[in-house]
A and B are shown apart, each in its own frame.
Chain A
Amino acid sequence: MAGIELLSDQGFRVDGRKANELRRIQCRLGVFTQADGSAYIEQGNTKILAAVYGPHEIRGSRSKALHDKVLVNCQYSMATFSTGERKRRPRGDRKSKEMTMHLQQTFDAAILTSLYPRSQIDIFVEVLQSDGGNYCASVNAATLALIDAGIPLKDYVCACSASFVNDKPIMDISYLEESSGGAELIVATLPKSEQIVFLEMNSRLHEDNLSHVLDMAVKGCKDIHDVLDQAVREHVGEVAAISGLE
């Protein structure tokens, strides 16, 4: 199977998408009743659950409290059955820890933190099935859960990955494309203002091509935003109908 062709001459990727197409996104808000906010998202075969608690008082040691803003506490974990081979440790390994940190940084930047000094918001992310783009899907799921919880945000936070194959940028890369050893650019943005809250890059990419790849990733974020926004509006409509507000 040497040298699998990631982008064919006619511009199709291994899974039949074109270079600028996202995987299919399906999402639901309010999947749990006990959490303050929750969401489930599927991006292709990557499936993620997110739950948000808070804002509430600081749990555990008081010393962690910040006097001028809310403490965002994240936990990222991958189910043992989420990958092809069974995982040994669902959380606490290096990769998960790093991912936790990244999520924390991302949402620190997007939540209006100064509104809740000396309190805490917990975001729990669980990867049920992993097929590339775990970070992106986690951010998108967490955004939906935060919206479900009613926590004020600057904007939706949407994340999307992009890579560069055969001199062309490709959007929203799958596990197969990730593991082929090419460059991987992950970006999380506030789509309306196009501000970048998080950017990560793996492997080497020539700087001349960076802007093309970045544009592709940002465009992906906007596309994701449209999908998420529609889902939120539908959900709000449903909830409003149930509670008789309409």
Chain B
Amino acid sequence: MVEMLEKSNRYLRLRNNQGKNVCVVREVYRREDIPCLSEQCLTNCKSNIEENTGLLPSDVTHYVVPDPQVAKEFLEIFENRKIRGIIFTQTAAHSIQHDGGRRLYNRLRTMVRDRRQGCVIFHNEFQTYAYSEREPGKSLTDWHNSLTYKTADWYFNHLAASVPIVMITKNEQFIHDFGHKTPNLFVLNMKDYLEGFWKEVIPDVTSLYESLSEISLSKNKDTEFTSYLPMEILTNGIKCGKYIQGHLQVNRNNASHEAFIRRSKIDLTVDSGSDILIPGMVARNRAVHGDLVVIEIIAKSDWLSPSGNIHEPSVEIGDGDKIKTPKTNTSSILPTGKVVGILQRNWREYVACFSQDEETGRGDKKAGKVLVIPWDYRIPKIRISTRQIDSLQDHRILVRIDSWEVDSMYPNGHFVRSLGKIGDLETEVASILVENDLRVPPFSEAQLKELPIDTEQYPWKMTDEEIECRRDLRESHLIFSIDPKGCEDVDDTLSVRRLSNGNLELGVHIADVTYFVRPGSLTDIEAQNRSTTVYLADRRYDMLPAVLSSNLCSLISGVDRYAVSVIWELTSDYEVINTWYGRTVIRSQYKLFYELAQAVHDGIVDAEIVRNIPELHNLWGEELEIRLNELKDSIDMLMMVARGLKTRRVASGALELESVEVQVQLSETKSVENLNPKQSLEIHDTIAECMIFANHWVAKKITETFPNKALLRHHPLPKDEQFGNLRSCAASLGFKINTNSNKQLAESLDLCVDDNDPVVNKLLRSLATQAMSNAAYFCTGCLARDQFFHYGLALDVYTHFTSPIRRYADVIVHRQLLAAVGNKHEVKSKLPTSTHLDEISQHINKKHRSSQYAQRESQELFQCLYFRGRGTEDENCIVDAVIFQLRDNGVFTFIPRYGIKGPVYLRNKDGLVVHISNEDDIEWTGGDLIKHDTYVEVNSILGQQKYHLLQHITVKLSLQDSWAHASSLRLELYSNKPQRKEQDSMNDVAKQQKASMIEEVSMEAVEKRLQLESYDLGDNFTSLKQQYGQSTNSMYTLFEELKENS
């Protein structure tokens, strides 16, 4: 083995930590058996590498080898999924790491690791025949070129000329010299390559190429920014406390003037209370929202206070370069700082559009430079170069920031692709997805190939061996599911029975997703990428392909399914004596929905039950009687057990925090779209309690077995200062909120009931929820033991186990649980290690958060579409609102009818304040506004008026259309008296209203589409839309049909 290696030395000049140049010699061993990683390889040289790396696919027309310079500058083009079969030389990878920085290098690495991408890094510097020494006097780029060519040549010979190889370089001389040396081994420049090979397949690619190639040529004039300090000064400064690092958070409502650094707990010292204010664009010094920056605190005499005004968010960033000196209100002064360096940029792709008014839009038409306005208010305008302004004028486009030179007012970026016309529903939804970093392409063919097939022709069957090694519950247990009506992906079922010894046996049976989704499979990688099913207002994007999520893993009634079960034996006072975990085979007997189950419990007539349960339709007489009683008993017993468990949980020092729990329940009971009118039935609680119970016990088990690498979910203590608004609201009605512990908080919230006003309690609870920290997944190895608890549920350990179809975390927990109980299929070594799991959990948390944001934004979008076109006199637009927060120029209100929160201005932009006369006429006059603890006082020449916290007022809703950003709703004061008409059923109406609103709007959108000739979608648009929405008719079934036809 040693003999075939060839040793040589490499001489490098490096700079040591004192800044001196040092000569370093490193040895390099070269060998002949470097794997080529091609599926096409004849010599089978890939046999000695590990499985986990991607391979060059055999079904491409050619392989492409970019030289280091091309790889660095056009990596983004190669990231396109359609371009496959890319060979990056090790030399290119090193040069990307060295010159392109860590982010670029990480992008390369994720590309290589993603097997769908079909690209590899070839260790050309270790391969004897693909390497040549750099001769003295040869320039670095020449050497890189010749190395790349040698690699291409090697590949060509190694694969016995079976695949054409294309080398890409910028060096025209080189192309000339080597381009025609060997047939089928091409040397091209990037432009010719793209035009020759990809123009047909990826139409956008040439424009992306142009904008990328132009950014390297641009330079600009002077501004007030200062250059960043060198890295070692920054790191030393942070260590000795002179500088502070943190993520820059721009205030969405006042983007050009206010940004904050939120400090982590570690560097909170005594004198440095809270957040640090970064006022204005100059102090922000080219940092963009989300960047990890280093700041220096300025002299205390220059500290400022953040403004208490409500701002319209449409203030243009970058135009106001002088800060308006805010009225310094000495009490709320914050430490103020300025950015002196940036540790890490967190630039991503931004949705943007061209400015509407021509003049600012195209400042410099000759150079093709245009400013675009990002959708996100917090991001400054971006300068891009494109020649397609005319065709893209009314489109939303994707833009990436490339650099922000010290002498430039705006960052430089480039155009990536267009999302579609502004105002189209699909465009706006796509924008929401991009802005939240959610990617939901249809599942690829390769992924679907891995999955089992279940069509009418080839029905999927269970294998006997598999049934053999599972516990069979099909005959022994009565299993049923309770879900919202019309639910497709049933992932949990329940069973309950009384054992012969008088004890109770409760079983929770969860769909066995891990049986179908093997770790490391393409489906698994994709599911991990997505991490969660994304529910938008009118559609959903599944985490798993439909064949799993709504078929093989869905525990529908009357079919045999694989499951993972947790079965407890409980004494009559609900003490757990025995727990069993493991894989089972089940057959759910009934698929119930909440309302029905509750009705059964409340005792409706039998005929009604039979009518609602299709499973009972074909039964008569005595058998029906028996089955009915069985079912009734089970439901009653289940509710009893759940009640018992809940009281135990509450009694054992625990608490009940309604508002938080409602949120948890929403996810636990997987209401498909939580817009369904959701009356709070006891059965909701029952199911939630059973799921919490199962999650808790599973968490216990995996923490025990894997103390260092179990995936749990925790809900940290809320920060006390977050409760400020809640306290003052409650105080205005004379209530006192005690936030010392979760129990006391819950109790004091229970007391805050105003008999005349049911909204008060709801609003206070929602404020309490706002004050909470977010629950998050974590890996046990990475957190202290005393941080594991779940504040909202008051449990010591908690995890998510019950919805593996919708959440990736549950999939991991399933694997861990099965490994913990020693299931032979789950080998322990395949579980992710502690550090890996930590990365995964952070990824999942991020995706969860962004899917929630996306859901909320899509609901707001639909709200806006609903109000578009409704006149101001429409009765739907004049509604009751409750004041819950006070500001210097207005109040924040909550509209119970639509569940919307928003600002109401009492002083307009011209400085006039509002006065409402006795006849409810609104007048704007001169005057001033004084904010007190519990009310705002409006003093004008017409008299004095007060607005108290929790006071009801009437507001008028109207749509504030926006070109560049998301449209929003404007709330205007209509009257300072409550509008009380539909007081009684307000809460339910809110939800119903939302659901019907969305329905109406999507109908309208569809109709509009059908009318437009240009789209030419014809009659099958609805079915196309369904495919896009992945709801019923997925790509999978489409492929299956194609397969059958061929």
Kindly state the separation between the CA atoms of A131 and B52 in the bound complex, as whole angstroms: 32
- Tell me which residues across on chain A come within 8 A of B220, comparing CB atoms: none
How far is A23 from B5 in the complex, measured between Cα atoms in Å?
10
CA distance A236 to B109 in the complex (A): 52
Q: How far is the CA of A1 from the CA of B94 in the complex (A)?
A: 9
B26 on interface, CB distance cutoff 8 Å: yes
- In the assembled complex, A202 has its CB within 8 A of some CB on chain B: no
**Which chain B residue lies CB-closest to A176?**
B26
The reply on B28 being an interface residue by CB < 8 A is yes
B154 CB to nearest chain A CB (Å): 16
Tell me which of B27, B50, B98 contacts A10 (CB under 8 A): B50
Given A10, A23, A84, A131, which contacts B22 in the complex, CB threshold below 8 Å? Answer: A84
- By secondary structure, the B interface counts as mixed
Which stretch of A14-22, A140-148, A153-161 is in the interface? A14-22
In the bound assembly, the distance between CA atoms of A44 and B26 in angstroms comes to 9
A246 within 8 A of partner (CB): no
Name the residue in A8, A16, A24 with the highest tally of chain B Cβ atoms < 10 Å from its Cβ. Answer: A16
A10 B29 Cβ-Cβ under 8 A: no
Q: Do B50 and A11 touch (CB < 8 A)?
A: yes
Determine the chain A residues whose CB is within 8 A of the CB of B50 once the complex forms.
9-11
**Would B52 and A22 count as touching, CB distance under 8 A?**
no
Q: Does A32 contact B (CB under 8 A)?
A: no
Partner of B9, one of A45, A167, A174, A176: A45
Known contacts A84-B23, A85-B22, A16 near B102 by CB under 8 Å: no
The answer to whether A9 and B113 touch across the interface, beta carbons within 8 angstroms, is yes
Interface residues of A in 13-57 (CB under 8 A from B): 14-17, 21-24, 44-45
A21 touches B123 (CB 8 A): no
Asked if B53 CB lies within 8 Å of chain A CBs, one says: yes
In the docked arrangement, what's the CA distance between A174 and B9, Å? 13
**Is A3 interfacial (CB-CB < 8 Å)?**
yes
| Chain B residue at minimal CB-CB distance from A226 | B2
Query: Which of A10, A22, A45 has its CB near the most chain B CB atoms (within 10 A)?
Result: A10
B833 touches A167 (CB 8 A): yes
A245 within 8 A of B: no
A181 to chain B, nearest CB (A): 14
Cβ-based interface call for A241 (8 A)? no
The answer on a CB contact under 8 Å between A16 and B23 is no
| Closest beta carbon of chain B to A121's beta carbon, Å | 32
How far is it, in angstroms, between the C-alpha of A164 and the C-alpha of B98 when the chains are bound? 25
CB contact under 8 A between A12 and B16, given known A45-B25, A131-B25: no
Mark out the residues of chain B between 97 and 123 whose CB falls within 8 Å of any chain A CB in the assembled complex. Answer: 97-98, 102, 112-113, 121, 123
B701 in the interface, Cβ–Cβ < 8 Å?
no
Contact A15 B1, beta carbon cutoff 8 Å: no
Q: Which residues of A contact B125 (CB under 8 A)?
A: 16
Task: Contact check, A11 vs B49: say whether CB atoms are below 8 A apart.
Answer: yes
Q: Which of B25, B26, B113 has the most CB of A within 10 A?
A: B26
B29 CB contact (under 8 Å) in A8, A17, A84, A176:
A17
With known contacts A16-B28, A84-B24, A8–B121 Cβ distance under 8 A: yes
A8 touches B2 (CB 8 A): no
With the chains together, A3 CA to B109 CA distance in Å?
13
A2, CB-defined interface residue at 8 Å: yes
B52 adjacent to A9 (CB under 8 Å): yes
Taking CB atoms, residues of chain B closer than 8 Å to A3 are 97, 102
> Do residues A16 and B29 form an inter-chain contact, with CB atoms below 8 A?
yes
Complex Cα distance, B10 from A174, in Å, reads 14
A3 to B27, CA, bound (A): 20
With A9-B112, A10-B123 known as contacts, the answer to whether A15 contacts B53 (CB < 8 A) is no
In the complex the two chains form, what is the Cα distance from A11 to B126 in whole Å? Answer: 12
| A11, B98: Cα distance in complex, Å | 21
With A16-B125, A44-B27, A45-B9 known as contacts, the answer to whether A21 contacts B52 (CB < 8 A) is no
Distance, CA A8 to CA B112, complexed state (A): 12
- Measured CA separation A17–B5 after assembly (Å): 9
A74→B162 CA distance, assembly (Å): 62
Report how far A1 CA is from B101 CA in the complex, Å: 9
Rounded to whole angstroms, the CA-CA distance of A174 and B833 in the bound complex is 27
**Contact B49 A10, beta carbon cutoff 8 Å:** yes
Count, chain A residues at interface, CB 8 A: 24
B5 touches A24 (CB 8 A): yes
Q: Does B846 sit within 8 A of A, measured CB to CB?
A: no
Closest to B120 in A: A10
Residues of A within 8 A of B123 (CB): 8, 10, 12, 16
Question: B3 CB to closest chain A CB, in angstroms?
Answer: 10
Within 8 Å of chain A (Cβ to Cβ): is B790? no
- A37 CB, min distance to chain B CBs, angstroms: 26
Of chain A, the residue at the smallest CB distance from B131 is: A16
Give, as a whole number of angstroms, the nearest-CB distance from A20 to chain B: 9
Tell which of B1, B16, B25, B37 touches A21, judged by Cβ atoms closer than 8 Å: B1
Chain A CB within 8 A of B290 CB: no
Question: Quick one: closest A residue to B708, CB to CB?
Answer: A206
Q: A15-B29, A84-B22, A176-B26 are in contact. Are A10 and B1 (CB under 8 A)?
A: no
A23 to B30, CA, bound (A): 12
Question: Which residues in window 456-511 of B have CB below 8 A to A?
Answer: none
A10-B123, A24-B2 known; A15+B27 contact, CB < 8 A: yes
Chain B residues positioned under 8 Å from A22 (CB to CB) = 2
Residue of A nearest to B101 (CB): A2
Contacts of B97 in A (CB 8 A): 1, 3
In the assembled complex, the CB of A86 is this many whole angstroms from the nearest CB of chain B, namely 10
Would you call B16 and A15 a contact (CB within 8 A)?
no
How long is the Cα–Cα vector from A106 to B163 in the complex, in angstroms?
Answer: 57
A43-77 CB contacts (< 8 Å) to partner B: 44-45
> How many whole Å from A205's CB to the nearest CB in chain B?
14
Complex CA gap A45/B26 in Å reads 8
Do residues A85 and B5 form an inter-chain contact, with CB atoms below 8 A? no
A15 to B25, CA, bound (A): 11
Contact of A15 among B2, B23, B26 (CB under 8 A): B26
Give per-residue flags for B10-35: 1 if the beta carbon is below 8 A from chain A beta carbons, else 0: 00000010001011111111110011
B7 & A24 in contact (Cβ 8 Å cutoff): yes
| Given A10-B53, A85-B22, A174 contacting B27 (CB threshold 8 A) | yes
With A12-B126, A16-B123, A167-B833 as contacts: A85 and B29 at CB distance below 8 Å: no
CA distance A170 to B179 in the complex (A): 42
Provided the pairs A3-B102, A8-B123, A9-B112 are in contact, do residues A16 and B31 lie with their beta carbons within 8 angstroms?
yes
Q: List residues of A (77-120) whose CB comes within 8 Å of B's CBs.
A: 84-85
Are the C-beta atoms of A16 and B126 separated by less than 8 Å?
yes
Query: With contacts A15-B27, A21-B1 known, is A9 near B16, CB below 8 A?
Result: no
Of B5, B16, B34, B113, which is in contact with the most chain A CB atoms at under 10 Å from its CB?
B5
Interface residues of B in 493-535 (CB under 8 A from A): none
Residue of B nearest to A22 (CB): B2
A85 contacts B2, C-beta separation under 8 Å: no
Contact A15 B35 (CB under 8 A): no
User: What residues on B are CB-neighbors of A14 within 8 Å?
Assistant: 26
List chain A residues, Cβ under 8 A from B5.
16-17, 21, 24
Q: What's the nearest-Cβ distance from chain A to residue B725, in Å?
A: 43
Task: Return A80 CB to nearest CB of chain B, in Å.
Answer: 15
A63 to chain B, nearest CB (A): 46
A1 to B833, Cβ gap below 8 A? no
Contacting residues, chain B, for A1 (C-beta < 8 A): 97-98
A residues 151-206 in Cβ contact with B at 8 Å? 167, 174, 176
- B115-144 CB mask vs A (1 if < 8 Å, else 0) is 000000101011000000000000000000
| Chain B residues in 8 Å Cβ range of A174 | 26-27
Query: 5 closest Cβ contacts across the A-B interface?
Result: A16-B126, A16-B29, A84-B22, A9-B53, A24-B7
Beyond A14-B26, A24-B7, 20 additional pairs, beta carbon < 8 A: A1-B97, A1-B98, A3-B97, A9-B113, A10-B35, A10-B37, A10-B121, A12-B34, A16-B28, A16-B31, A16-B123, A17-B5, A21-B2, A23-B27, A23-B29, A24-B29, A44-B7, A45-B9, A45-B25, A45-B26
18 interchain pairs, CB-CB under 8 A: A1-B97, A1-B98, A3-B97, A9-B50, A9-B53, A10-B49, A15-B28, A16-B30, A17-B29, A21-B1, A21-B2, A21-B5, A24-B29, A44-B27, A45-B9, A84-B22, A84-B24, A174-B26
